[in-house]
């Protein structure tokens, strides 16, 4: 039979088969593409979890654990957390994938990870680093006990969600409902088997701090990532320093000093600046807020940043929306906290952003008339003034 006849027969055979109900084709994840193109490795399906191993040599193994966002992602072409980064670095990777937000509390997963340890799988590699963020950070710490002498770098990690150990933890409802009896229940204890455990966290985020404080062994290296919130890994990526932090950790060179040096770059992010302003607002620190907004303006921060901080402080009653020297002349009996009376800074702040809502009892905007006259702009109401008049 010729090749053409074989091809024709195959096509007829396939056409004669009825379509299976509910079967939809999906794009392949990158790890499948890599395997198809000659990559080595294996995958083990465990129901709610899966292990994907990409073999790129024995120099280093990165073990990554999915976070909650990944676990809730139904995309069929999803890769293990950090897969592309590990591939670029040439590291072997064991990606522990989660398909439900069950916080890796799964006996099938426990058994498979124990089996790999018994078979000497982890000992094949010169060095091993476990990593993850939040839920994945907990798992990176908890499974470290299977690989004595490994390294762990955990971003915003929880130590456990066991109600007996952290009764004050009220986040992550699905995780708290999981079974926290048995092995690998407390990352703060299990991680003591590692040679080094780097914990990246925001020291101004109380619940995350409480988890970090549960790690009391001498392998812990705390890396405060101020004003990053619970998403420290995302903050580092936005600052374009996550890869450098990870490379230093894998090489064993990451120190508090080197981390702080890298982290300085994050101070330029609007994320950081907004968080500083919000912390001052939460502390009712009007004195520093009055200094912060002009400093941000002079430093060339995006207008949306200092306007946003100023507006939130005004809503909290810590700053006024208009200059004090002009407001006081219209309301002599009213005591106000305001920005410094710099007509250029404050007037520009509002003339260039008419969508910022003013107080509903705003008196005639004298400074607006003055600034428009200087700029030779026809004297007419601003958009927000028209909206107020229409609403009334």
Distance CA 267, CA 254 (A): 20
Note whether 245 and 283 are same-domain residues: no
What is the per-residue pLDDT across 273-296, written as a single tens digit (0 to 9) for each? 999 999 999 999 999 998 988 888
Mean pLDDT of the chain: 82
Q: What angle do CA 8, 9, 14 make, to 5 degrees?
A: 100
Residue 61 domain flag: yes
Query: Within this chain, do residues 217 and 109 fall inside the same structural domain, yes or no?
Result: yes
Do 64 and 201 fall into the same domain? yes
Whether residue 68 is found in the same domain as residue 149: yes
Parent domain of 89: 28-268
Confidence of residue 357 (pLDDT cuts 50, 70, 90): very low
Are residue 190 and residue 79 in the same domain, yes or no?
Answer: yes
Cβ atoms 204, 226 nearer than 8 A: yes
pLDDT tens digit string along 125-151?
A: 999 999 999 999 999 999 999 999 999
Residue 341's contacts (CB-CB under 8 Å, 6 or more residues apart) are 323, 324, 325, 326
Rounded CA-CA distance 103/177 in Å is 10
Let me know if residue 56 belongs to a domain.
yes
**Angle CA 334–337–340, to nearest 5:** 120
The string of pLDDT tens digits covering residues 27-75 is 888 988 989 999 999 999 999 999 999 999 999 999 999 999 988 988 8
138 and 216 fall within a common domain: yes
- CATH code (residue 158): 3.40.50.1820
| pLDDT above 70 as % of the chain | 75
Q: Is the pLDDT of residue 238 over 60?
A: yes
pTM summary value? 0.76
Tell me the backbone φ, ψ of residue 206, rounded to 5 degrees: -55, -45
Task: Indicate if 261 and 316 belong to the same structural domain.
Answer: no
Tell whether the model's pLDDT for residue 120 goes beyond 50: yes
């Amino acid at each position: 039979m010729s090749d053409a006849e074989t091809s024709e027969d195959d096509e007829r055979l396939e056409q004669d088969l009825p379509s299976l109900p509910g079967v939809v084709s999906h794009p392949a994840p990158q790890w499948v593409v890599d395997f198809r193109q000659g990559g080595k490795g294996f995958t083990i399906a465990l129901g709610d979890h899966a292990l994907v191993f990409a073999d790129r040599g024995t120099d280093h193994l990165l073990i990554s654990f999915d976070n909650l966002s990944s676990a809730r992602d139904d995309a069929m072409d999803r890769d293990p957390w950090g897969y592309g980064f590990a591939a670029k670095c040439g590291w072997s990777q064991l990606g522990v994938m989660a398909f439900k937000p069950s916080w890796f509390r799964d006996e099938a997963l426990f058994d498979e990870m124990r089996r790999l340890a018994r078979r000497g799988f982890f000992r094949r590699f010169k060095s091993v680093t476990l990593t993850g963020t939040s839920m994945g950070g907990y798992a990176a710490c908890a499974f470290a006990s299977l690989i004595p002498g490994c390294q762990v770098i955990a971003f915003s990690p929880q130590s456990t969600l066991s109600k007996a150990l952290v009764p004050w933890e009220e986040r992550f409802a699905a995780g708290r409902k999981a079974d926290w009896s048995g092995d690998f229940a407390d990352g703060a204890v299990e991680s003591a088997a590692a040679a080094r455990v780097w914990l990246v966290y925001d020291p101004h985020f109380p619940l995350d701090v409480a988890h970090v404080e549960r790690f009391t062994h001498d392998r812990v290296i705390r890396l405060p990532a101020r004003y990053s919130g619970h998403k420290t890994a995302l903050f580092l990526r936005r600052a374009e320093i996550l890869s450098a932090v990870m490379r230093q950790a894998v090489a064993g060179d990451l120190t508090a000093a080197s981390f702080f040096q890298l982290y300085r770059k994050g101070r330029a992010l609007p994320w950081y600046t907004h968080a500083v302003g919000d912390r001052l607002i939460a502390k009712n620190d009007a004195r520093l807020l009055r200094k912060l907004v002009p400093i941000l303006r002079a430093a060339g921060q995006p207008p949306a940043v200092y306007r946003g901080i100023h507006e939130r402080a005004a809503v909290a009653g810590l700053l006024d929306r208009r200059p004090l020297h002009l407001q006081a002349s219209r309301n002599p009996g009213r005591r106000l906290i305001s920005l410094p009376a710099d007509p250029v800074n404050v007037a520009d702040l509002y003339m260039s952003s008419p969508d910022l809502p003013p107080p509903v009892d705003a008196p005639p905007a004298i400074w607006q008339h003055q600034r428009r006259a200087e700029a030779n702009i026809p004297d007419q109401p601003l958009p927000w003034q028209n909206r107020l008049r229409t609403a009334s």
